Amino acid sequence: MLPVGIDKISFYTANYYLDLRELACAQGTDPEKYYVGIGQEKMGMPAHDEDIVTMAANAALPLFKDEESKNISTLLFATESGIDQSKAAGVYVHRLLGLNENCRVVELKQACYSATAAVQMACALVARQPEKTVLVIASDVAKYELDSPGEATQGCGAVALLIKANPKILEIDPEVGNYTEDVMDFWRPNYRKTAIVDGKYSTKIYLKSLKKAWEHFSQSSDVRFSDISHFCYHLPFSRMAQKAHKHLSKVNKSSLEVEQTQAQIEDSLLYNKLIGNSYAAALFIGFTSLIENAEQSLAGQKIGFFSYGSGCVAEFFSGTVIEGYRQQLFTQQHKMMLDSRQALNYEEYLSLYHAPDPQSGERIEMPSDTTGGFRLAAIGDHKREYVER
């Protein structure tokens, strides 16, 4: 069978962030609870003229230096921050990126899991027609109630992946392990802007799903725990991945020392600590963080992935890093983007948090705020107007 997987990967986050020390200070909480307890430092906040569409287009833009955009046969858009009940957010992105008119576009949803479903579906499409390229984008804004335990785990980001035959970054193995259970750990009814979450329960069900998905993976695949050099986990906050990896190591009776076990995930956490939860995008931003920050070459190494979407659907899958992968990366651009973001004070954060959300069709011009390549210029007559900046 022809190898299929990730040929290019790029991510984007908003140019504003709130330092969790600033949040802790406003709440009268010890900042160490965030910096150490949940392992997070900053959370990305979308500007007034940014949303999942502009972030998605910005994430995908670097992938199309050449004629590549003409060859995209399908755009799969994964999100749980949908802006419309009917129209797929990817259709706006299709225009902003100038994709060809024969490209199909669809939106997928299952909490943070949907990007993994999109990647697996993209691999299946490419396996059927190896000359085609599928673009997968995951884009989300994580928003919780003010002063709730989830508030410090907010964030935003988008990631874009080109899935191709003979990929240049990661060959994805066809064997997977799945686990699904109807639970209420985190959800957002249509009439709400913020998620409802049973926080402690959600962390328990995350760990249960990891064990179940791993057991199913072990029945389907010849890849053993000790064959995997690095692991990428869904990242609601970085401490969750540390706990998850400890749990999986214990399930597998790993003989590695604690430091060696943590070293298997440390590089995958770096970007998430600075961005916060980006829901469907988080797992693949974590993978980008791993391949862009690992000092030693990962070529030929096996990577394990755990995808978790509340509600819940989970999947464990694996892949092998391809020789020469570093030439495909956008490491400098990503680091510059993260370094040049602007810090918000608590009042500025509140103003973005309470950004107007017109519901009766009145026209609102968005202040020109973002430093990204695309912006949401206005909402009027119930239509969102996206432009190049």
42 vs 48, beta carbon nearer ligand HMG: 42
Site for ligand HMG in 37-66 (CB under 6 A): 37-38
H runs (alpha helix) in the chain: 20-27, 31-32, 52-60, 89-96, 114-128, 199-220, 238-251, 258-263, 266-275, 282-293, 331-339, 346-353
d(CA 139, CA 137): 6
Q: 304, 309, 319, 372: which one contacts ligand HMG (CB under 6 A)?
A: 309
108 vs 223, beta carbon nearer ligand HMG: 108
Minimum distance between the CB of residue 111 and ligand HMG, rounded to whole angstroms?
3
Minimum distance between the CB of residue 139 and ligand HMG, rounded to whole angstroms?
13
54 vs 153, beta carbon nearer ligand HMG: 153
How many CB atoms sit inside 10 A of residue 217's CB? 23
What are phi and psi for residue 139, nearest 5 degrees? -145, 130
Look at residues 117, 110, 112 and name the one whose alpha carbon lies nearest to residue 76.
Answer: 117
Residue 265 DSSP SS3: coil
Look at residues 49, 43, 52, 51 and name the one whose alpha carbon lies nearest to residue 79.
Answer: 52
Q: 22, 80, 107, 267: which one contacts ligand HMG (CB under 6 A)?
A: 80
Minimum distance between the CB of residue 62 and ligand HMG, rounded to whole angstroms?
26
User: Does 181 help bind ligand HMG (rule: CB under 6 A)?
Assistant: no
CB 278 within 8 A of CB 179: no
Please provide the distance, in angstroms rounded to a whole number, between the alpha carbons at the two ends of the chain: 43
User: Does 286 help bind ligand HMG (rule: CB under 6 A)?
Assistant: no
Minimum distance between the CB of residue 203 and ligand HMG, rounded to whole angstroms?
5
Q: Which residues are catalytic?
A: 80, 112, 234
d(CA 139, CA 118): 12
Say how many residues touch ligand HMG, by CB under 6 A. 29
User: Does 157 help bind ligand HMG (rule: CB under 6 A)?
Assistant: no
- Residue with the shortest CB distance to ligand HMG: 37
Site for ligand HMG in 217-256 (CB under 6 A): 234, 236-237, 240
Q: 15, 202, 272, 318: which one contacts ligand HMG (CB under 6 A)?
A: 202
- The strand pairing partners of 317, in sequence order, are 176, 305
Sign of CA dihedral 337, 159, 223, 113: positive
User: Does 36 help bind ligand HMG (rule: CB under 6 A)?
Assistant: yes
Sign of CA dihedral 372, 373, 375, 377: positive
Q: 62, 82, 174, 199: which one contacts ligand HMG (CB under 6 A)?
A: 199
User: Does 154 help bind ligand HMG (rule: CB under 6 A)?
Assistant: no
Using CB under 6 A as the criterion, which residues of the chain lie in contact with ligand HMG when the complex forms?
30, 32-33, 36-38, 80, 111-112, 149-150, 153, 185-186, 197, 199-200, 202-203, 206, 234, 236-237, 240, 277, 279, 308-310
